[in-house]
Structure 1
């Protein structure tokens, strides 16, 4: 059943099919306006904790879209952010929400880059270089957001988009923490497995750029390690596995405490990382209070690993790309242990070569 929504200026749109849902809202396709109308979707939030505050949040984000700091963030094609374009309300039930660009026009779900099966099916040309590019793009985008005073707060794969070139987009802008004049709009959302340790179990702890930086490191690790969460694994001390968050709080991470967790034999090898990135991960996940690497530092390091001469193509499998620092292919090592994150494409049917008509000077014809 179609849903009609109206903006404060009286413009109406028709929402058609439901295309997604999250912890607070539901996303719908917006009926095409024809011509060169941009592809739009609408997010409706049926029961916000404070409806008036939520409406004010959306109105401020819509207004900020025209401010210089946001214009810069939205520059370029494709747009990297599903920024609120107009606040809307359903005509019958008065449910609030907003229109935003349809990220599906240029991107696909971020998760398709995190598993071999999804990559092979949906991004058949993806290599480790694609993962590096996506990690660099995500870090650069987050660095730009932090520089303009935005804190994502609930950074996770479900809010991210990626294309075949490794370009990254971000949605759920309405959950960010930001300032508008003298009014502060806090962020309270968090997701298990994608929460910095200082916010785990602390219901009132607001997000900070440093908490975003922790989750960025988690996502970069997943991209570079074929989906492996840095705090995945069964505790080696005999404790029961409870959750990723429990492992985070107890510092169970292969990169910072090698013997703290047991992982499947076919997991991506830890030593596939360039030294500079391995050092950043150890700093990001260290239990000491020293500052974590920021998003801009991650972006510089990741972009450096994409520089000419920093990547090598395996002689056995062209899908296997790895750092020049590694004298042999880590993905072939992984394949020998029962898993291959970037398998070679299956051989297709070989078409029979057309039979040539022998020419008078073709001596091969005489031998047939």
Structure 2
């Protein structure tokens, strides 16, 4: 069924096909020369409040703080461009908005998290690409926080990445922000990507920057550890594994206590990480959480060419110069290939030999 949406000013767009859905809305492709999509939210808890939220976000698009956020190339935020209401049979009264189609310059963030997806969609990606994505995400979140926004529902499904590791974000309508003295609270959260103080909290409990900072650390860990969640693992006591969130609430994290969880031999080793980043992870999960800007500073330092090495055995195996040999070769020898085989170095296939980039 073809849908038509109309803005408050009377402009109409034709929606061509459904391309995705989430916990609240459905995303459709738009028949337009520009790369646009439309998100429709059929049953918001308070329709009038939702329309007001979208109208404020559309207006804020012209404010200096938002212009600064949208000035990068490619555009890093799928900001609402116009509030719309769906027309056509059976869809009258469904509210939503138009936004940039992130697929125009990005891929789903999850493509960078697993070996199979990387091989299929980002075949040239290395650990340096993951490091660049972690840095881009930290900088983006630091910029959002600096402008007064709290994401609240920070998760892979809302994130995008390109082949260079540049990260974008969507689902702006769920963010928490203030406009004209009115607070528009965030209320969303997702299993596995929720700060401990928000797990099991009453419905509508608002997020804050600290909760974003916790989830940022989770995502950076997943990027740098071949998709491994920092709270993955069966309880070492022999109890049943219930969920990431259960492990979060009970502090079961290898970086905090290596005896708290049991992981398979195929899991990347904890010492794969640079020492400075390991310290930030431990603070994020068990102490005073580093802000996104602190992550950005540390990740920028670790992304310097002098801090990276490439394996002679496999040119797609990039790792921190703090490691004496290639961790990805070790994992491949165990049957767990995180990064696909690249070209063998002309200097030969010597085992565990590294060279400075």
TM range (shorter): over 0.9
1:340 corresponds to: 337
Partner of residue 47 from structure 1, selected from 43, 48, 61: 43
Q: CA contact under 8 A between 2:314 and 2:342: conserved in structure 1?
A: no
Deviation at 1:340, TM superposition (A): 1.5
How many angstroms apart in 2 are the aligned matches of 1:39 and 1:343? Answer: 32
Deviation at 1:278, TM superposition (A): 0.4
Deviation at 1:338, TM superposition (A): 1.9
Deviation at 1:222, TM superposition (A): 0.2
How many angstroms apart in 1 are the aligned matches of 2:206 and 2:257? Answer: 28
2:170 matches 1:171: yes
Deviation at 1:337, TM superposition (A): 2.0
How many angstroms apart in 1 are the aligned matches of 2:114 and 2:19? Answer: 22
Residues 194-215 of structure 1 deviation map (CA, whole Å, 9 limit, x = unaligned): 0000000002421000000000
Count of residue pairs brought into register by the alignment: 340
Alignment of 1:5-154 (within 5 A): 5-32=5-32, 37-92=33-88, 93-154=92-153
Deviation at 1:2, TM superposition (A): 1.1
Q: CA contact under 8 A between 2:315 and 2:343: conserved in structure 1?
A: no
Deviation at 1:240, TM superposition (A): 1.2
How many angstroms apart in 1 are the aligned matches of 2:237 and 2:205? Answer: 30
How many angstroms apart in 2 are the aligned matches of 1:98 and 1:214? Answer: 29
1:320 corresponds to: 317
1:234 corresponds to: 234
Residues 18-62 of structure 1 deviation map (CA, whole Å, 9 limit, x = unaligned): 000000000000012xxxx32100000000000000000000000
1:272 corresponds to: 272
Residues 200-237 of structure 1 deviation map (CA, whole Å, 9 limit, x = unaligned): 00024210000000000000000000000000100011
1:354 corresponds to: none
Structure 1 unaligned runs (5+)?
Answer: 348-368
Structure 1 ranges of 4+ moved more than 2 A: none
Residues 307-353 of structure 1 deviation map (CA, whole Å, 9 limit, x = unaligned): 12110000111110010111111111112222110120499xxxxxx
Deviation at 1:193, TM superposition (A): 0.4
Q: SS where residue 245 of structure 1 aligns? A: helix
Deviation at 1:76, TM superposition (A): 2.0
Deviation at 1:244, TM superposition (A): 0.6
Structure 2 unaligned runs (5+)?
Answer: 345-357
Q: Which has the larger radius of gyration?
A: 1
How many angstroms apart in 2 are the aligned matches of 1:187 and 1:291? Answer: 23
How many angstroms apart in 2 are the aligned matches of 1:346 and 1:326? Answer: 21
1:211 corresponds to: 211
Q: SS where residue 83 of structure 1 aligns? A: coil
